[in-house]
Amino acid sequence: MEVIWYLVLFSFILRTSTLKIITPGQSIKDGETLISVGESFELGFFSPGSSKSRYVGIWYKNIPSRTVVWVANREAPIFDHSGVLSFGNQGILTLLNSTKTVVWSSNTSRTAQYPVLQLLESGNLVAKDRNDNNPQNFFWQSFDYPCDNFLPGMKLGKDLVTGFERYISSWKSADDPAQGQYSLRIDPHGFPQLVARKGSQVVFRLGSWNGLYFSHRKPNTKPSPLYSYQFVLDKNEVYYKCELQNSSVISRYAMNPSGLMQRFLWNERKQEWEIFSTAQTDQCTVYGFCGAYASCNPDRSSPCACLEGFVHKSPTSGDWNSIDWSDGCIRRTPLACDSGDSFLKHTRLELPDTSKSWANKSMSFKECEELCLRNCSCTAYANLDIREGTGCLLWFNELIDMTEFTEDGQDLYIRLAKSELDQLQRKMKSKEKRKAVVIAISIIIATGMMVTMVLLYKRKKNLSNEGKHKEKMELPLFDFATIVNATDNFSTSNKLGQGGFGHVYKGMLKEGKEIAVKRLSKDSGQGLDEFKNEVTLIVKLQHRNLVKLFGFCIKGDERMLIYEYLPNKSLDYFIFDKTRNKLLDWHRRMHVIDGIARGLLYLHHDSRLRIIHRDLKASNILLDNSMNPKISDFGLARKFGGDQTEDKTRRVVGTYGYMSPEYAFHGCFSMKSDVFSFGVLVLEIITGKRSRGYSDHDHNLLGHAWRLWIEERPLELIENTLGDSYIITEVLRCIHVALLCVQQRPEDRPNMSSVLLMLGGESTLPQPNQPGYFIEKNLPSGKQSSSLNEFTITIEAR
């Protein structure tokens, strides 16, 4: 038995310089490697990034771009290729440099009769007894000393008896694996929570465990079925661990040198890491962004708001954007304590910081409330475990770091003075009464409307179609007279512009509110279907980079949409104009690009529906007072079901110059066709030139950009008026991302979440392939127009 074992080992050594198991006395020199039992991982010497220093690390064996998940001597590099990692008789690993000095060593107190060193299939390097595979008995393992990667099977947490802690820490930089500024650990204080710090400062909270998951920031990041999660809290230890449910999936969680935390999945087909989720997404994920007793909602134009019963600490001038929210809010009415307080229920919140909280697993909900009420310094309470609504979690300090969710989130009961609560309830009741009245009126109007519409239908179409058009419209209906008044009977002086589907007018309601009225031309392509499509879609969308719909109006065969009025017109009004383009310096343009990307990301991924816009272009990007971009015109948008990613149509509608080749020629549209249009838009923003109508010998704008890119002169794309206002690396990154977006093959184009990360400089950029040239000459049919007006057109696909 023993003999055979050594024979196998021996033949293995002869064949190759890679080993699968190491026994005392053996060593690994620079250039040799140890591979895991099933050949998933490999250990050896490497130099990170552009560094020349040598480190011992573990990486995925079968992933071509070397992804290092663990480093032994992260603080103590070796400066030449003479390093040797040897395994001693005591089962201790030591790393020696050329002067035979120990630069790093493993540390064990236990040892065994037959110690061996092995790299397990999980990526865990272990020193153990040859015959003992029980993880409890490993006498040393690399999983106890994580670096920047959190792999399935690793533990994150603290041994409460010995104080030993396992935590994630970032690299200093891509070239230096030494411990950087950022760390992710379970903070055992109060009720344990996962916390990211920069130095000693908390910068981000993944929150506390609620029985199912960490009360994480982002909605719709429910636990993924890809993983099983474990959170253990008892008097001996607290830890968190996740395991992959499917062993053929390769996944890791990593913290990069700038503290960004992301989960990656390996895409075998594309041979690249795909970002599965990102922890930090908006300002609401910044710890305590809104200060005490305030909640943060990234979809509000001003994300912070005081909780009910609280007021802003520093008095304001009414300009909510200029407020420094770090002050937070204070009680409007001081607590009365023993003489009468009560609790106001808040729903769909991420629970506040629990670092000073107190918890009891077995307490009932009622007991929890009573306990909190009894203690004057208790500010709030909540369920500990949302699975069965059990347990008790109490707060004794200021409540800080709460995000509002549109779905998910938890209930939190916040202490208020009884008098304050009564006042709030009275207000709410009267609001409800008002609402009831409004609803009653709406019902009457809606019924009237329905009757009118049914009559209309009867006249126009057969009754057979009637049923399928019944859609709920939860929107204010404006009466025709109001709109005629507001727009001065659609006077020419109020005309804002003209689109493929009709005219847009500015209007002013009696109470002084400005509106934009989109009056659909009667002979336009947009029929009642498209109209209803637009209304029902936008009603469900709320995002600061999408234009807001106030309501609609129907009179006879007149149909109108009432939008918020944006004083700064649309993006094309600025970027393509020789004088107005100076108003958009690089900083503003970057802001616009970023905003459009966020709006589009919301449409594609984050809203409850999956929406393909299909007609993204400069004239559909409106600008508000502060030049924030808002995507408009959803007349062509298509809603996709949960898993659907692609659709085909015979009726290709869109705009020349922005359409992806697969859409223009074959009628295939998907999120990737919007990504294409986004890429075109970014190039237009950088160059100040229209994609359509740009002519340079045989090239269109995309071809021009591509030529300069491969000739390594991309900076020549930048518009002259930008002067020195731009940051070269930022512009280059934008050009690079734009070229990735307009690649010929839809599957090569990034999705919008990758685009945002790339724009933020948080992701490495692959080389783009040739763009999908789309020149009007190639159009299969349809009229060709020499005018520069960017009308949305309709062509029949082949």
Cα distance between residue 209 and residue 188, in whole Å: 12
| Long-range Cβ contact pairs of 318-322 (< 8 A, separation 24 or more) | 321/626
Cα distance between residue 583 and residue 26, in whole Å: 69
Helices (H) and strands (E) in the chain, counts: 12, 48
The yes or no reply on residue 97 touching ligand NAG (CB under 6 A) is yes
* Residue 290 burial (C-beta neighbours within 10 Å; 0-12, 13-18, 19+): buried
Residue placing its CB nearer to ligand NAG in the complex, 99 or 787: 99
The yes or no reply on residue 492 touching ligand NAG (CB under 6 A) is no
In degrees, rounded to 5, the angle at the alpha carbon of residue 448 between the alpha carbons of residues 444 and 450 is: 115
Block residue for tokens 């159009």? 779
Residue placing its CB nearer to ligand NAG in the complex, 360 or 419: 360
Minimal distance, residue 224 CB to ligand NAG, in Å: 12
3-state secondary structure of 547: coil
Looking at residue 322, the DSSP 8-state letter turns out to be: G
Sole window of 111-119, 128-136, 241-249, 329-337 interacting with ligand NAG (rule: CB under 6 A): 241-249
Sole window of 4-12, 99-107, 488-496, 713-721 interacting with ligand NAG (rule: CB under 6 A): 99-107
Cα distance between residue 450 and residue 448, in whole Å: 5
Which positions from 334 through 373 interact with ligand NAG, judged by CB under 6 A?
A: 358, 360, 362-363, 367
- Angle between the 728-741 and 586-601 helix axes, to the nearest 10 degrees? 40
Q: Which of 50, 113, 200, 246 binds ligand NAG (CB under 6 A)?
A: 246
Cα distance between residue 614 and residue 638, in whole Å: 8
Minimal distance, residue 248 CB to ligand NAG, in Å: 4
Residues 461-480, mask of contacts with ligand NAG (x by CB under 6 A): --------------------
Residues 6+ apart with CB under 8 A from 471: 532, 536
Number of neighbours of residue 55 by Cβ within 10 angstroms: 24
Which positions from 128 through 167 interact with ligand NAG, judged by CB under 6 A?
A: none
Minimal distance, residue 766 CB to ligand NAG, in Å: 21
Compute the half-sphere exposure of residue 156: CA atoms within 13 Å on the CB side of its CA: 28
Contact 624, 630 (CB under 8 A): yes
Minimal distance, residue 367 CB to ligand NAG, in Å: 5
Cα distance between residue 415 and residue 365, in whole Å: 15
Minimal distance, residue 342 CB to ligand NAG, in Å: 18
Sole window of 93-101, 449-457, 579-587, 688-696 interacting with ligand NAG (rule: CB under 6 A): 93-101
Q: Which of 103, 484, 509, 765 binds ligand NAG (CB under 6 A)?
A: 103
Q: Which of 17, 89, 90, 98 binds ligand NAG (CB under 6 A)?
A: 98
φ, ψ for residue 715, nearest 5 deg: -65, -20
Residues 6+ apart with CB under 8 A from 319: none
The yes or no reply on residue 101 touching ligand NAG (CB under 6 A) is yes
3-state secondary structure of 51: coil
Minimal distance, residue 186 CB to ligand NAG, in Å: 20
Residue placing its CB nearer to ligand NAG in the complex, 98 or 236: 98
Residues 60-89, mask of contacts with ligand NAG (x by CB under 6 A): -------------------x----------
Minimal distance, residue 360 CB to ligand NAG, in Å: 4
Nearest-CA neighbor of 589 among 429, 738, 773, 463?
Answer: 738
Contact 614, 673 (CB under 8 A): yes
Residue placing its CB nearer to ligand NAG in the complex, 380 or 592: 380
Cα distance between residue 557 and residue 789, in whole Å: 27
Sole window of 24-32, 103-111, 208-216, 274-282 interacting with ligand NAG (rule: CB under 6 A): 103-111
What are the start-end ranges of the E strands in 650-792?
A: 651-654, 668-670
747-759: burial string, b at 16+ Cβ within 10 Å, e else: ebbbbbbbbbbbb
The set of catalytic residues is 615
Q: Greatest CA span in the chain, whole angstroms?
A: 99
How many residues belong to the site for ligand NAG (CB under 6 A)? Answer: 20
Residue placing its CB nearer to ligand NAG in the complex, 101 or 430: 101
Block residue for tokens 């989109």? 518
The yes or no reply on residue 271 touching ligand NAG (CB under 6 A) is no
Which positions from 371 through 400 interact with ligand NAG, judged by CB under 6 A?
A: 375, 377, 396
Q: Which of 8, 13, 174, 249 binds ligand NAG (CB under 6 A)?
A: 249
Residue placing its CB nearer to ligand NAG in the complex, 375 or 769: 375
Sole window of 102-110, 143-151, 192-200, 691-699 interacting with ligand NAG (rule: CB under 6 A): 102-110
Contact 310, 329 (CB under 8 A): yes
Residue placing its CB nearer to ligand NAG in the complex, 369 or 585: 369
Residues placed in the known binding site = 518
Residues placed in the known binding site for ATP = 518
Cα distance between residue 171 and residue 51, in whole Å: 13
Contact 563, 515 (CB under 8 A): yes
Cα distance between residue 294 and residue 312, in whole Å: 9
In degrees, rounded to 5, the angle at the alpha carbon of residue 747 between the alpha carbons of residues 746 and 753 is: 95
Residue placing its CB nearer to ligand NAG in the complex, 6 or 79: 79
Amino acid, single-letter form, for residue 732: L
| Edge-to-edge strand ranges of the sheet holding 165-166 | 165-166, 155-159, 237-244, 227-233
Type and span of the H or E element at 11: helix 2-15
Residue placing its CB nearer to ligand NAG in the complex, 190 or 328: 190
The yes or no reply on residue 107 touching ligand NAG (CB under 6 A) is yes
Minimal distance, residue 101 CB to ligand NAG, in Å: 4
The yes or no reply on residue 781 touching ligand NAG (CB under 6 A) is no
Residue placing its CB nearer to ligand NAG in the complex, 173 or 397: 397
Cα distance between residue 619 and residue 497, in whole Å: 10
Residue placing its CB nearer to ligand NAG in the complex, 393 or 597: 393
The yes or no reply on residue 230 touching ligand NAG (CB under 6 A) is no
Block residue for tokens 């032994």? 72
What does the binding site for ligand NAG look like in residue numbers (CB under 6 A)?
79, 97-99, 101, 103, 105, 107, 109, 246, 248-249, 358, 360, 362-363, 367, 375, 377, 396
